[in-house]
Amino acid sequence: MNNEQIDAIRQQLTDHLKAFGCSQKQAAKELGVSGTMLSFFLKGTYDGDNDKLAQKAEQFIRMDTARRRVRQIPDICLSVRNTQAILQKCEIAHMNNEVVLIYGPAGCGKTTALQYYEEHHNGVVYVEADATTNSPRCVLQMLLEKMGESPAGTTNSLMRRIIEKLRGTNQLVIIDEAQHLTERAFDTVRALNDKAHVGLVYAGNPSILQRMYGKRQDDFDQVFSRVVYKCQLKNVYTLEDIRAIYTGHEISPECLKYLYSIARRKGGLRLMTHQCKIAENIAASLKERLSLEHMDAAAEMMGSMEGAA
């Protein structure tokens, strides 16, 4: 590129960031460069490889523009029964410093609702476990990092610091995907309720119930006996639920019925919203009104063998 072309890209990037309210810090992260480097580039004072950085900027503008045109999954719908149940149980645990267990199949809205509760309430510490963060130490480290603290130290010292930080705060700790926790991790987290007197929510798929109250009942008795409220979720929705989720979207009655049928399958709302997102983008790219044909095309792209009924 010559200097004139680089200057043009520099101006395009400046205009793009301003138009969409994107920070230089976020842009630098996506470009894979430092904030200082990007700042110098935009000012025209970068003494490095301006051609290479201009190419990165051009690619960023193109991808970010395309991403912003993509139809997105709808925001949380507060009228859906599962969402109401999750928010209610979180509030109970938060107000009364109780232990709550929320469990249900994949795609029933657990994570979306739990994150919504965290975003709309003060004093909530939300973490998500997985197969690599299921030990007592890993869980405590995640909690400390979420609270803005250093995760360094022995497991015992981590526990003492968390208890000291939480005691008397009436906060709520939410452990999502808790079916991954080991029995020692379950017991460690449970101690936060005992010693720091904070609310605690375990959330996961149905296997969490089997682990806490199944064949290994004796191992988990100390945990399960403290669960005051249990909330079972199901992928059961009404056509009105689906209509409410897609308020503001131009979706025909036939397509709403189709989405309703998808929501009742394995994968529930997660499968439905992703398939509809793909179908809406197919329709938008063709400048057509969303139809069952677009829904079937989305199902094919996702590898689903079930088309429109």
**Where does the pLDDT of residue 113 fall: very low under 50, low under 70, confident under 90, or very high at 90 and above?**
very high
In a domain, 186, yes or no: yes
- Give the pLDDT confidence of 202-242 residue by residue, as tens digits: 999 998 877 666 545 555 555 666 677 889 999 899 999 99
Whole-angstrom Cα distance, residue 179 to residue 111? 13
Does one domain contain both 134 and 49? no
Does one domain contain both 94 and 216? yes
Residue 309 reports pLDDT greater than 50: no
Does one domain contain both 87 and 120? yes
Enumerate helices (H) and strands (E) in the chain, giving the number of each.
15, 5
- Give the pLDDT confidence of 17-73 residue by residue, as tens digits: 999 999 999 999 999 999 999 999 999 999 999 999 999 999 999 988 877 877 788
Does one domain contain both 109 and 171? yes
In a domain, 308, yes or no: no
In a domain, 74, yes or no: no
- Half-sphere CA count of 69, side-chain side, radius 13 A: 12
Domain boundary among 46, 69, 92: 69
Helices (H), 181-304: 183-196, 207-213, 217-224, 239-245, 253-263, 268-285, 292-302
Does one domain contain both 27 and 150? no
Mean pLDDT value across residues 246-272: 92
Q: Angle at the Cα of 8 (from 3 to 10), degrees rounded to 5?
A: 90
Domain boundary among 69, 97, 123: 69
- Please check whether residue 198 is in contact with residue 173, taking contact to mean a CB–CB distance below 8 angstroms: yes
Query: Considering the entire predicted model, what is its pTM?
Result: 0.79
- For residue 214, the 8-state DSSP code is S
- Please check whether residue 16 is in contact with residue 65, taking contact to mean a CB–CB distance below 8 angstroms: yes
Residue 105 reports pLDDT greater than 70: yes
- Please check whether residue 135 is in contact with residue 189, taking contact to mean a CB–CB distance below 8 angstroms: no
The mean pLDDT of the chain is: 90
Place of tokens 């996961």: 204
- Half-sphere CA count of 124, side-chain side, radius 13 A: 21
What is residue 126's predicted lDDT score, i.e. its pLDDT?
98
In a domain, 22, yes or no: yes
Does one domain contain both 98 and 159? yes
- Give the pLDDT confidence of 135-189 residue by residue, as tens digits: 999 999 999 999 999 999 999 999 999 999 999 999 999 999 999 998 889 888 9
Residue 13 is part of which domain span?
3-69
Assign residue 58 the CATH number of its domain. Answer: 1.10.260.40
Domain boundary among 178, 207, 232: 232
Q: Please say whether the dihedral angle defined by the alpha carbons of residues 203, 206, 210 and 213, taken in this order, is positive or negative.
A: positive
Residue 303 reports pLDDT greater than 90: no
Of 234, 231, 269, nearest in space to 102 by CA? 231
Assign residue 152 the CATH number of its domain. Answer: 3.40.50.300
Does one domain contain both 212 and 164? yes
In a domain, 248, yes or no: yes
Does one domain contain both 255 and 271? yes
Share of the chain above pLDDT 70, in %: 93
Does one domain contain both 58 and 113? no
What is residue 28's predicted lDDT score, i.e. its pLDDT?
94
What is residue 137's predicted lDDT score, i.e. its pLDDT?
95
Does one domain contain both 212 and 260? no
- Number of domains, the chain: 3
What is residue 212's predicted lDDT score, i.e. its pLDDT?
67
What is residue 242's predicted lDDT score, i.e. its pLDDT?
95
Does one domain contain both 247 and 217? no
In a domain, 75, yes or no: no
Does one domain contain both 118 and 200? yes
